[in-house]
Structure 1
Amino acid sequence: MTTQRKALVLAAVPALILSTVLAGPAAGTPTQPVDVALEWYDVTANTIAAAGAPTQVTNNRTWAIGWLAAGRALTRSAAAATPYKEAALAAAVHETLVTLAPARKTQLDEALATTLGRIPDGADETAGAAAGRQQAKALLASRANDGLDPAAVNAPFSPPSTSPGVWQPTPPTYSPGTQYGNRVAKPFLLKAADQFRPGPPPALGSPRYNRDLAEVRADGALASTTRTQAQTDTAQFWYGSSYVLYTEPLRVAVAEAVRRPLAERVKLVALFHVASVDTQIATSDTKYAYQRWRPVTALRATVDAQWTPLHNTPAHPDYPSGHTTYSGSAEQVLTALVGPRTAKPYTIGSPTAPGVTRTYTDWRQLTAENVDARVWSGIHTRTADTVGATLGRAVAAHTIQNAYKLFR
């Protein structure tokens, strides 16, 4: 990038910040190479935390577009020099985020200026930035009106009946069903939302159904006498947003892959979120195809009119669990692209358990805890959880197998 063009990029940056960017480190201070993949990972995460959508799948879509655009720019210039690649990544993600989270334009412009300020001026920087922006604009255009905006995601849904087994709004808020519109949104790689739809949930009154309900009744009750403190702690930890809970594990994976080519690390982030979007579309398809009532509705209607779960029940059907479809998808992508275990233990926190951390050495344990947690929260049956994890893995495996279609 020429000095003149760089000046134009930096023009919007406040004077004090600009002087810091241009000044560089103080004399005598050792400098560490900046990992541009982690730099823009954090920019993306911080942008969505500050100005993201109220719907989880919309935020996964933002990641998918930005990092897929970057992946395309890098793949199509695989032999390009490092300045080209770093500029392409920064520009692709910047263009996407400025478009989809315009309230953060000032901060995003600052971040772009910081990255470009480290890259030597020249044709590689200029071409890389142009390629990144071009791929982002093309992908944004192709995903316009894909049905993943918040209003479309939460299209109105009215239960067709109040018959036993059919989902109904749940206490304490009795909110209308959410995520109904996901089922007709445009996937990235699925041929159709029902491509991996599992078979129906256990029939009412069947042995498996009765076992499921008895387990939730005992272990998921607010006043449970069978749930241990450790189980309560697990339920509390995993009650938060799957998107938030998995942002740090994915960052760990990107950091662990530091010795791999930048294009591979970018594709890891892109494919994680592409799989997540497609998984959530498949999840809503299954939920609203079967419309199975939640444990709280079933138990109050048939066993105990006062039964109350440990946690409030989300406003959509039981089967399958969205948390476990998300975790199954995440596990599959991370295992396929990074390996089943991490080189060293990693620690994550939870927005619903402030100050609490958990340490892991693989990805599968996160899924296992999600399966248990939704039962111990009293908000899902175990069958809904295990089927959900299987569905997520299947969609993610399809994403990995067809990834070449996204980058050609």
Structure 2
Amino acid sequence: MRLTRLRIVATAFVLGLSALAVGTSGPAAAPTRAADATISPQTVLDWNSIAVDTVRAATPAKFQIEGQLYMTYVQAAVYDAVVAATGKGTPYRKLKVTIPGASPRAAVASAAYSTLMYFFPAQATSLTATYTDYLNVTLSKLTASAKQAGVAVGAAAAADLIASRWGDGRDAPVATAYGVGPQPAGTWVFAPAPSAQSAQTPWVGFMKPFLMESASQFRSPAPPAMTSAQYTADFNEVKTLGSATSTARTAAQTAIGQFWNANVINQYAQVFQSVAKAHNFDLAATARLLAMGTMVSSDAGIACMDAKYHYLLWRPVTAIRGADSDGNPDTAAASSWSPLLTTPNHPEYPSAHGCVTAATIAVLENVLKTKTINVDVPGATGGGTTLTTTRHFATGDELLTDVANARVWAGLHYRFSTTAGVELGKAVAKWDLDHFGK
């Protein structure tokens, strides 16, 4: 195990150092703490977008929370590289390397590139071309020594992050055959087509978190009993308003349900980017925001999947079609009922969107030091996942209410699941924000 960890470190380090010969023309730099006089955040923003594109282009596809984990690997490495190169902030992991005169911008590019190359080797050709061009063109005005030192710092940060996450549970096999075969009423099973017929990333719920002590640290309380008034009310709400053919749902409610069908990785990356630009964050502040944002939301996702696969509550599409077996005289079965949007193939409770969104908002409120966050959020239309429209939210509470409504109106969740998701996301965020950089 130790030898493997050392090989990982060496591999990532060599990947970053391989660019040392790129763009070496130019005068030598005097040894300073940071070679960039005025440090724009653009390099951090550029490589955040490159990371999003890389994660989304992966084969097989990375599901929403799964993809966010890879974004966290990248942004954590980038943040540590920036702290090492600038001396600003408290790192996620303190590097045991000091290289005078390192360009923070070169460190960012190297850290992101090295991390992405390790996790996505199939995209090595395009990543290397992008990286080489970035060093030679975008960072062409840096001196050779500043660029080389920055590349070394970034490679070291990537190597350290990769080694620290060795054996963290990513893609680990899970023995239990979730969702397969006859199950008691109320138990989650594979959603009917067009959902994917396999349990989606159950291993996430068993992963080593980034800041939390364990995946189950803030596990949600048990969902309402199927014979309870709460379950009955929420069952009937989603049955009425979340149906693909609902006549009770308004056009505006349909649009809201479809808006939040967007790809979350891209969606929230753009929110963080826009906040950094709107508030004139420098490179260090932007790197910190993106690291904190991805890390806290990933921990919320890990906690959410822990609860989902612990409780294994059935989704509305299964519950409504099989309501004649739930022991509740106030829930009526509808054998052909289908939701407005395709049901994700993981258990119902709690809502992952609630978990991740609540955590994301907590980060924004923490960084901006106000509950009036004023963000423009990109979203989808017509049932697609591509970001084709934008909506403005003045406060985090407005945004959370919108997401909770959307998941019910899309036919994907009961109301109590969205509430539990928000509460879980907030609990995780409070812990993580108290421990970030400590």
Same fold at TM > 0.5? yes
Question: Is 2:66–2:201's contact at 8 Å kept on the other side of the alignment?
Answer: no
Structure 1 unmatched ranges of 5 or more: 12-31
Residue in 1 aligned with 2:319? 298
Q: What SS does the aligned partner of 1:144 have?
A: coil
Deviation at 1:10, TM superposition (A): 4.6
1:275 to 296, 300, 304: 296
Q: Is 1:137 aligned with 2:145?
A: no
Structure 2 unmatched ranges of 5 or more: 1-17, 25-38, 89-99, 324-331
Question: Is 1:166–1:291's contact at 8 Å kept on the other side of the alignment?
Answer: yes
Structure 1 residues 240, 7: closer, same or farther in 2, change over 3 A?
Answer: closer
2:130 to 83, 88, 107: 107
Q: Which amino acid counterpart does residue 300 of structure 2 have in structure 1?
A: T
Q: Which amino acid counterpart does residue 397 of structure 1 have in structure 2?
A: K
In the TM superposition, 1:35-50 aligns within 5 A as: 35-50=42-57
Q: Is 1:337 aligned with 2:367?
A: yes
Say which is worse superposed, 78-87 or 161-170, in terms of deviation: 78-87
In the TM superposition, 1:87-236 aligns within 5 A as: 87-102=106-121, 103=123, 104-122=127-145, 124-149=146-171, 152=173, 156-158=177-179, 162-173=183-194, 175-236=197-258
Q: What SS does the aligned partner of 1:359 have?
A: strand
Q: Percent identity?
A: 31
Deviations 1:83-119 (A, max 9, x none): 6222222211121122222313222332233343232
Say which is worse superposed, 264-273 or 201-210, in terms of deviation: 264-273
Question: Is 1:272–1:330's contact at 8 Å kept on the other side of the alignment?
Answer: yes
Question: Is 1:154–1:181's contact at 8 Å kept on the other side of the alignment?
Answer: no
Q: What SS does the aligned partner of 1:391 have?
A: helix
Higher helix share: 1
Deviation at 1:401, TM superposition (A): 1.0
What is the alpha-carbon distance in structure 2 between the residues aligned to residue 36 and residue 344 of structure 1? Answer: 24
Structure 1 residues 185, 299: closer, same or farther in 2, change over 3 A?
Answer: same
Q: Which amino acid counterpart does residue 9 of structure 1 have in structure 2?
A: V
Residue in 2 aligned with 1:311? 341
The alignment of Structure 1 onto Structure 2 pairs a total of residues equal to 379
What is the alpha-carbon distance in structure 2 between the residues aligned to residue 187 and residue 310 of structure 1? Answer: 33
What is the alpha-carbon distance in structure 2 between the residues aligned to residue 294 and residue 343 of structure 1? Answer: 33
CA RMSD of superposed structures (Å) = 2.9
Say which is worse superposed, 172-181 or 185-194, in terms of deviation: 172-181
Question: Is 1:294–1:380's contact at 8 Å kept on the other side of the alignment?
Answer: yes
Q: Which amino acid counterpart does residue 247 of structure 1 have in structure 2?
A: A
Q: What SS does the aligned partner of 2:57 have?
A: helix
What is the alpha-carbon distance in structure 1 between the residues aligned to residue 115 and residue 309 of structure 2? Answer: 31
1:62 to 47, 55, 70: 70
Structure 1 residues 364, 86: closer, same or farther in 2, change over 3 A?
Answer: farther
Question: Is 2:374–2:395's contact at 8 Å kept on the other side of the alignment?
Answer: no
TM-score (norm 1): 0.84
What is the alpha-carbon distance in structure 2 between the residues aligned to residue 200 and residue 105 of structure 1? Answer: 48
Deviation at 1:244, TM superposition (A): 2.6
Question: Is 2:169–2:206's contact at 8 Å kept on the other side of the alignment?
Answer: yes
Structure 1 residues 160, 390: closer, same or farther in 2, change over 3 A?
Answer: farther
Deviation at 1:33, TM superposition (A): 6.8
Deviation at 1:235, TM superposition (A): 0.5
Deviation at 1:379, TM superposition (A): 1.3
Deviation at 1:173, TM superposition (A): 4.3
What is the alpha-carbon distance in structure 2 between the residues aligned to residue 224 and residue 389 of structure 1? Answer: 26
TM-score (norm 2): 0.78
Deviation at 1:131, TM superposition (A): 1.2
Question: Is 1:71–1:270's contact at 8 Å kept on the other side of the alignment?
Answer: yes
Q: Which amino acid counterpart does residue 222 of structure 1 have in structure 2?
A: A
